[in-house]
Structure 1
Amino acid sequence: MITGAVHSWDLATAVDGPGTRFVLFLGGCPLRCRYCHNPETWRMRDSTRRSVEEVVAEIAKYRRFIEVAGGGFTVSGGEPLLQPDFVEQLLREVKALGMHTALDTSGYLGAWATDELLADTDLVLLDIKSWDSDTYREVTGGQIEPTLTFARRLDAIGKPMWVRFVLVPGLTDDPGNVEGIATFVAGLSTVERVEVLPFHKLGALKYAALGIPFPLADTPTPSPELLDRVRAQFRDAGNAVH
């Protein structure tokens, strides 16, 4: 029996894929994004072991409601690809229920996603956190190239993508950094939309509760003018922006 480290789940609308979604948050993440608003999901040991059967049984309770709402199932994190065997079987079982499936990932562990896992994934929500490699390292502690390689692989197999970019003043907002992502994404034929997500501090209380300093406590949220400029850069490159 395959089990996974499950942190929590929720029903969400229009933020984790189309329609109303059953969103499963898994524990464990190899990155430490400075703006992460779910620090409680960083470590697998802080989550609960659940079997695929247990999770699918919970999802099935909401199947009819989700179908009527034009939604589906999204596996998120943490980073779901840190548990590829669990995610692969889970997606297979959910697809057997006839539900739309989505994978929410940074792409950093994209090489861990098997062809079988991706075959049962209808949509990939891909977070491209920066284009400039130094900025990416500053934002996440990791490297950008695995995400770009994964994006190219998804494009090559015709997998639909929604690309997400978190806009942080003074960190990810450099025009050249935005232009790099916008141009790269515009060259991918299966990207259906780009979501420019403004940085927020809604997770600050979680950091305080965990006794962890919030790295961007003094960083302002993006102004409307900055948001307009960045969204315009993505549109001008030929992307559909939401």
Structure 2
Amino acid sequence: MAKVELEAQIEDQSQFPLGRVHSIETMGTVDGPGTRLVVFVQGCPMRCAYCHNPDTWSLQAGTPVSVEHVMGTFESNWQFYRNGGITVSGGEPLLQPEFVAALFGQAHARPAGRVHTCLDTCGYAYTPDSPERFDALLRATDLVLLDIKHADPEGHRVLTERSMDRILAFGDELARRNIKTVIRHVVVPGYTDSVEECEKLGRLIAPWHNVVGLEMLPYHTMGVVKYEQLGIPYKLEGVPQMDKGRIPELRAAVLRAMKGARASE
């Protein structure tokens, strides 16, 4: 069957918007609490220098997947997810808010019991001038893993080729709605591994009192092989993997600056 015909058939059988999906991990343990079903959607507007999934960039790639299919996959392994739930990662989930909203809505309405939902996002696809497009999604989101790539606007543009304005607007919206949020920050040697940058991150996130966690993720080079396979130049060629031994010091710098900023509010 031709791909176009297959997509039409899937759409006819679905009650909800289809999602463009890169892959589904059935036993995720690092994308939210507990063991989780993790849906990696296709498409991302950012071009992070250290991205380890460049094959997710194109929104036109991937496979059309229905909400029913994802929930069916969840149900087939539900006993493993009792202390976990469903996470949508990427790529960038905010490029497909209708699909993710429908999925999270079904997870919450599950007859056998409500399922915890988690959104793993960089926030860049959020559009502050049309927040209503994201309302259903955010109302059905229990936890957000928000990736802050760099605390400085110019450093952010160098590292991602994008502005951080939309990301900060999204963070403000999460705080306004009081949605529990874990901040994730990839620590890259020579880019985001200084105490000064980490302190700036702490001051940046201090106004968001909905932040319930901080994950400092050491940069690694495991994704380099994908760039070679796709024929894409790797921007951080020669940058070594981050020394994990420095992570506690840098995490403490973020928390110290955040606490200091809140004390002066």
Give the TM-score category using the shorter length.
Answer: over 0.9
Asked if the contact 1:201/1:217 (under 8 Å) is kept, the reply is no
Tell me the equivalent position of 2:41. Answer: 26
- Whole-angstrom distance in 1 between the partners of 2:219 and 2:42: 22
Q: 1:12 to 1:164 in 2, by over 3 A?
A: farther
Q: Does 2:102 correspond to 1:102?
A: no
Q: Does 2:95 correspond to 1:79?
A: no
Q: Does 2:189 correspond to 1:176?
A: no
- Whole-angstrom distance in 2 between the partners of 1:40 and 1:198: 21
SS at 1:169 equivalent: coil
- Whole-angstrom distance in 2 between the partners of 1:144 and 1:15: 25
Q: 1:178 to 1:22 in 2, by over 3 A?
A: same
* Counterpart AA for 2:174: L
Q: Which runs of 5+ in 2 are unaligned?
A: 1-13, 260-265
Match of 2:243 among 207, 214, 223: 223
**Superposition deviation, residue 110 in structure 1:** 2.4
Tell me the equivalent position of 2:136. Answer: 116
SS at 2:60 equivalent: helix
SS at 1:19 equivalent: coil
Cα distance per residue 1:157-215 (max 9 Å; x no partner): 11000000000011122333221211122332111110000000011111111121221
**Superposition deviation, residue 100 in structure 1:** 0.3
Q: TM-score, normalised by structure 2?
A: 0.85
Q: Does 2:20 correspond to 1:5?
A: yes
- Percent identity for Structure 1 against Structure 2: 42
- Whole-angstrom distance in 2 between the partners of 1:203 and 1:18: 24
Q: Does 2:154 correspond to 1:139?
A: no
**Superposition deviation, residue 225 in structure 1:** 5.0
SS at 1:46 equivalent: coil
Aligned pairs, how many? 237
- Whole-angstrom distance in 2 between the partners of 1:71 and 1:145: 32
SS at 1:10 equivalent: strand
SS at 1:235 equivalent: helix
Match of 1:50 among 27, 48, 65: 65
Q: TM-score, normalised by structure 1?
A: 0.92
* Counterpart AA for 2:115: M
Greater shift, 205-214 or 194-203, is seen at 205-214
Stretches (4+) displaced over 6 A: none
- Whole-angstrom distance in 2 between the partners of 1:3 and 1:153: 26
- Whole-angstrom distance in 1 between the partners of 2:238 and 2:32: 31
Tell me the equivalent position of 1:89. Answer: 102
